[in-house]
Structure 1
Amino acid sequence: VIKLGRDVAAGEVLQFRVPAGTIFGSEVADPASFGLVSCAVAPGFDYHDFELLTQANLLAKYPDQKAVIKRLAYEKLPDF
C-alpha cells in the first residue's frame, strides 16, 4: 500500500511510479474526501497491451487479496 499525500513525515508520498506490468488500483481513505488519480505512460502506449481485469480474473490468480479485489475491481466491465 502506498499512501499519497503531503505529510511526508507520516510516510505519505506526493507521487508514485507504478512499475510496468503491475496491477494497481486506488481508493480514497476518507469517504468525506476526494481524490484525483491520473495515469501517464512512457515510452509509447498501445491499447492492445492494456487489459482491464474483473474480480473473477483477479480472484482466480490472487485469492488471498479478496478484500482488496472486492473493493477496487469491477465485478463486470463497464461498456465504454
Structure 2
Amino acid sequence: MQRASIDSRELIQRLKLEPHPEGGFFCETYRANGKVVRESEQAMRSASTAIYFLLCDGAHSSWHRIRSDEDWHFYAGDPLDVHVLDANGTLVTHRLGNALEHADAVFQAVVEGGNWFAAECHDAEGAALVGCTVAPGFEFSEFELAVPGALEARYAQHRELIERLNPKV
C-alpha cells in the first residue's frame, strides 16, 4: 500500500496548529454563535465547534472523553484508527481515511459523548489530517484525559491497547 504523503511541518505552519493536550496538533476553526442548553445540567454551550487535528511523527491521541458527540472527518494523509470504548467495554475501531483508496476506511466516524476514545495513525510512521466537529460545542472544562491504570483496571480485556495509547506522563 502506497503511503499518502503530507508535509506535517507545512500544515502546522499554514493551519496555525498548536500542540493538543491529548497529543497531536490542533486549531479551532469554528465556534457557533448560537447557543444550546445541555438539558442534563442546564449548561449553555455553543451549538457546535470544529477543529483541524493532525497526528504525525508517531504521536497518538491519548484516551480521553468528552460529554458531546464528536464527528471525525478525514481530509488528507494516511488512515487513522479511532478506538472507542463504550460503558460496557465494547471496543470499536473506526478506520478513518480515503475510502476511495482504502476499502476498510470511512470518510467520517462518530464517537458518542461519554465514551472513552483514542486515535493513532494506522501506520506509526504516517501522518493524518482530520477534522472534528462537536455538538454541543467542545469546552475544555468537559475534556477528561484517562488516568493511567484506571481504564486498564476497568477494561482488562483491552489492556495492551489502552496502555499503548495512555497519556504520556
Q: Does residue 119 of structure 2 align to residue 26 of structure 1? A: yes
Q: Which residue of 1 aligns with 2:160?
A: 67
Tell me the distance in 2 between the aligned counterparts of 1:10 and 1:31.
19
- Name the structure where strand makes up a greater proportion of residues: 2
Is the helix fraction higher in 1 or 2? 1
Pair 1:61–1:32, CA change in 2 (3 A) = same
Q: Using a 3 Å threshold, how does the CA distance of structure 1 residues 60 and 47 change in structure 2: closer, same or farther?
A: same
Q: Alignment length, in residue pairs?
A: 76
TM-score, normalised to structure 2, is 0.39
Aligned CA-pair RMSD: 2.1
The aligned counterpart of 1:11 is 104
State the shift of 1:45 in Å. Answer: 3.8
In structure 1, runs of 5+ residues without a counterpart are: none
Runs of 4+ with deviation above 6 angstroms: none
Tell me the SS of whatever aligns to 2:162.
Answer: helix
1:3 partner amino acid:
R
> Which structure is higher in RCO with an 8 Å CA cutoff and minimum separation 6?
2
Tell me, in whole angstroms, the C-alpha distance in 2 between the residues paired with 1:45 and 1:31: 28
* Structure 2 runs not aligned, ≥5 long: 1-92
Distance 1:49-1:33 versus aligned 2 partners, 3 A rule: closer
User: What TM-score does the superposition give when structure 1 sets the normalisation length?
Assistant: 0.75
Distance 1:46 1:68 in 2: 27
Task: Report the CA distance between 1:38 and its aligned residue.
Answer: 4.1
More displaced 10-residue stretch of structure 1: 16-25 or 54-63: 54-63
Q: Which residue of 2 aligns with 1:35?
A: 128
Deviation of residue 46 (structure 1)?
3.9
Counterpart of 2:145?
A: 52
Greater gyration radius: 2
Q: Secondary structure at the match of 2:106?
A: coil
- Aligned identity (percent) is 36
Write the distance in 2 (CA, Å) between the matches of 1:36 and 1:70: 24
